[in-house]
Structure 1
Amino acid sequence: MLFDRVKPLDAILLTAEKKGLHRSLGAFQLTMLGIGGVIGTGIFVLTSEAAQKAGPGMLLSFCVAGFVCAVAALCYAELASMVPVSGSAYTYTYAVVGELLAWMVGWALILEYAVGASAVAVGWSNHAVGLLKGLGVAFPNAISNADALNAKVLLSFGTAPTPDLLTALNTGGWINIPAVVITGVITWLLIIGTTESARVNAILVAIKILALTAFVALTLPVLNSDHFNSLSEPFLPTGTSGVFGAAASIFFAYVGFDAVSTAAEETKNPQRNVPIGLIASLSICTVFYLLVASGAIGAIGAQPLLGANGLSLAPGSAEMAGRCVSVVAKGAIEPLVCSKEALVHVLDVIGHPGVGRLVGLAAVIALPSVVLIMMFGQTRVFFTMARDGLLPDRLASVHSRYRTPHVVTLVTGLGAAVAAAFLPVGKLADYSNSGTLFAFMMVAISVMVLRKTDPDRKRPFRTPAVWLIGALTIVGCFYLYISLPLTAILVLPGWGILGLIIYFFYSRAHSHVGRGIV
Structure 2
Amino acid sequence: MIFGRVKSLDAILATAQKKSLTRSLGAFQLTMLGVGAVIGTGIFVLTAEAAQKAGPGMMISFVIAGFVCAVAALCYAEMAAMVPVSGSAYTYSYAVMGELVAWMVGWALILEYAIAAGAVSVGWSGYMIGFVQSNLHIIVPLDLVRGPFDGGIINLPAMLIAAIVTLLLVWGTKESATVNAGLVAIKIIALTLFVIVTLPVIKSGNFTPFAPLGFAGISGAAASIFFAYVGFDAVSTAAEETKNPQRNMPIGLIGSLAICTVFYMLVAAGVIGTVGAQPVHGAAGEVLSPGTPALSAACRSIQDGAVVCSKEALAWTLRSVGHPFIGWLVGAAAIIALPSVILMMMFGQTRIFFVMSRDGLLPAFFSKIHPKFHTPHVITILTGIFVALFAAFFPVGLLADVSNSGTLFAFAAVSIAVMVLRRTDPSRKRPFRTPLVMITAPISILGCIYLFFSLSKETILLFVGWAAVGLVVYFLYSKGNSNLGRGIIDSPETDEDAPPQGVPPFPGAHTPGYKDA
Q: Is TM (by shorter chain) over 0.5?
A: yes
1:58-69 map, 5 Å: 58-69=58-69
Are the aligned partners of 2:239 and 2:245 in contact in 1 as well (CA < 8 Å)? Answer: no
Structure 1 counterpart of 2:199, from 220, 224, 227: 220
Partner of 2:222: 247
Partner of 1:211: 190
Structure 2 counterpart of 1:297, from 244, 262, 272: 272
SS in 1 for 2:301: helix
Partner of 2:44: 44
Letter in 2 for 1:70: A
Letter in 2 for 1:53: K
Mapped pair 1:399 → 2:378: no
Mapped pair 1:515 → 2:486: yes
Report the Cα distance in structure 1 between the residues aligned to 2:237 and 2:347, rounded to whole angstroms. Answer: 14
Partner of 1:428: 399
Shift in CA distance, 129/20, structure 1 to aligned 2, threshold 3 Å: closer
SS in 2 for 1:313: coil
Partner of 1:320: 295
Letter in 1 for 2:105: V
Report the Cα distance in structure 2 between the residues aligned to 1:510 and 1:270, rounded to whole angstroms. Answer: 33
Report the Cα distance in structure 2 between the residues aligned to 1:278 and 1:203, rounded to whole angstroms. Answer: 20
Partner of 2:476: 505
Report % sequence identity.
62
Partner of 2:418: 447
- Which string of whole-angstrom CA distances, capped at 9 and with x for unpartnered residues, describes residues 221-258 of structure 1? 211110012xxxx0010111111111110100111112
Letter in 1 for 2:184: V
Give, in angstroms, the shift of residue 40 of structure 1. 2.2
Partner of 1:495: 466
Are the aligned partners of 2:61 and 2:225 in contact in 1 as well (CA < 8 Å)? Answer: yes
Report the Cα distance in structure 2 between the residues aligned to 1:125 and 1:179, rounded to whole angstroms. Answer: 5
Report the Cα distance in structure 2 between the residues aligned to 1:35 and 1:2, rounded to whole angstroms. Answer: 35
Partner of 1:197: 176
- Which string of whole-angstrom CA distances, capped at 9 and with x for unpartnered residues, describes residues 404-442 of structure 1? 111111111111111111000000000000000000000
1:19-38 map, 5 Å: 19=20, 25-26=26-27, 30-38=30-38
Shift in CA distance, 346/104, structure 1 to aligned 2, threshold 3 Å: same
Shift in CA distance, 309/475, structure 1 to aligned 2, threshold 3 Å: farther
Shift in CA distance, 420/263, structure 1 to aligned 2, threshold 3 Å: closer
Query: For this pair of structures, how many residues does the alignment match?
Result: 486
TM normalised by structure 2 equals 0.90
Report the Cα distance in structure 2 between the residues aligned to 1:430 and 1:269, rounded to whole angstroms. Answer: 31
Are the aligned partners of 2:36 and 2:341 in contact in 1 as well (CA < 8 Å)? Answer: no
Are the aligned partners of 1:124 and 1:368 in contact in 2 as well (CA < 8 Å)? Answer: yes
Give, in angstroms, the shift of residue 37 of structure 1. 2.6
Are the aligned partners of 2:237 and 2:348 in contact in 1 as well (CA < 8 Å)? Answer: no
Report the Cα distance in structure 1 between the residues aligned to 2:121 and 2:23, rounded to whole angstroms. Answer: 35
1:36-185 map, 5 Å: 36-134=36-134, 135-146=136-147, 149-150=148-149, 172-185=151-164
Report the Cα distance in structure 1 between the residues aligned to 2:341 and 2:64, rounded to whole angstroms. Answer: 23
Letter in 2 for 1:251: F
Report the Cα distance in structure 1 between the residues aligned to 2:284 and 2:474, rounded to whole angstroms. Answer: 44
Shift in CA distance, 295/2, structure 1 to aligned 2, threshold 3 Å: closer
Give, in angstroms, the shift of residue 9 of structure 1. 1.4
Structure 1 counterpart of 2:261, from 282, 286, 301: 286
- Which string of whole-angstrom CA distances, capped at 9 and with x for unpartnered residues, describes residues 363-398 of structure 1? 000000000000000011112112212112221211
Structure 1 counterpart of 2:445, from 467, 470, 474: 474
Are the aligned partners of 1:219 and 1:299 in contact in 2 as well (CA < 8 Å)? Answer: yes
Letter in 1 for 2:82: M
Partner of 1:380: 351
Larger mean CA deviation between 301-310 and 216-225 belongs to: 301-310
Report the Cα distance in structure 2 between the residues aligned to 1:464 and 1:263, rounded to whole angstroms. Answer: 23
TM normalised by structure 1 equals 0.90
Letter in 1 for 2:298: R
Larger mean CA deviation between 111-120 and 86-95 belongs to: 86-95
SS in 2 for 1:6: coil
Report the Cα distance in structure 2 between the residues aligned to 1:277 and 1:130, rounded to whole angstroms. Answer: 34
Report the Cα distance in structure 2 between the residues aligned to 1:20 and 1:363, rounded to whole angstroms. Answer: 32
Report the Cα distance in structure 1 between the residues aligned to 2:174 and 2:69, rounded to whole angstroms. Answer: 27
Give, in angstroms, the shift of residue 280 of structure 1. 3.6
Report the Cα distance in structure 2 between the residues aligned to 1:417 and 1:101, rounded to whole angstroms. Answer: 29
Report the Cα distance in structure 1 between the residues aligned to 2:140 and 2:245, rounded to whole angstroms. Answer: 52
Give, in angstroms, the shift of residue 354 of structure 1. 1.7
Give, in angstroms, the shift of residue 20 of structure 1. 7.9
Partner of 1:354: 325
SS in 1 for 2:133: helix
Give, in angstroms, the shift of residue 284 of structure 1. 2.4
Report the Cα distance in structure 2 between the residues aligned to 1:25 and 1:486, rounded to whole angstroms. Answer: 42
Unaligned runs of 5+ residues in structure 1 are 152-171
Mapped pair 1:410 → 2:381: yes
Letter in 2 for 1:55: G
Partner of 1:166: none
Backbone CA RMSD of aligned residues: 1.9
Report the Cα distance in structure 1 between the residues aligned to 2:292 and 2:230, rounded to whole angstroms. Answer: 24
Report the Cα distance in structure 2 between the residues aligned to 1:261 and 1:379, rounded to whole angstroms. Answer: 15
Report the Cα distance in structure 1 between the residues aligned to 2:250 and 2:83, rounded to whole angstroms. Answer: 17
Structure 1 counterpart of 2:337, from 366, 383, 392: 366
Letter in 2 for 1:281: S
Are the aligned partners of 1:176 and 1:421 in contact in 2 as well (CA < 8 Å)? Answer: yes
Larger mean CA deviation between 276-285 and 488-497 belongs to: 276-285
Letter in 2 for 1:9: L
Unaligned runs of 5+ residues in structure 2 are 490-517
Are the aligned partners of 1:434 and 1:492 in contact in 2 as well (CA < 8 Å)? Answer: yes
Give, in angstroms, the shift of residue 17 of structure 1. 3.6
Are the aligned partners of 1:121 and 1:420 in contact in 2 as well (CA < 8 Å)? Answer: yes
